[in-house]
Amino acid sequence: MQIILIGDPVAHSRSPAMQNAALAHLGLGHLRYAAVHTPLADLPSRVAALREPGYLGANVTLPHKQAVIPLLDELEPEAARIGAVNTIYKGAGGQLIGANTDAPGLIADLRDGGADLAGASVVLLGASGAARAAAFALAGAGLARLTIANRSIARAESLVADLRADAAASPPEMIAIALDAPALPAIIAAAGLLINATSLGWQADETPLADPPVSPHALVYDMVYRETHLLREAAVRGARARDGAGMLVQQGALALTRWTGHAAPLAVMWAAFVDCRL
DSSP 207-228: -S-SS----TT-EEEESSSS--
3-state SS assignment for residue 195? strand
Residue 40 CB neighbours (<10 A): 10
Strands, DSSP E only, in the chain?
A: 2-7, 32-37, 55-60, 74-75, 87-90, 96-99, 121-125, 145-150, 173-178, 193-196, 219-222, 240-243
Which residues are marked as active site?
Answer: 65
Helix (H) or strand (E) segment spanning residue 109: helix 102-112
If we measure between CA atoms, which residue out of 169, 171, 109 comes closest to residue 143?
171
Give the pairing of strands 96-99 and 74-75: parallel
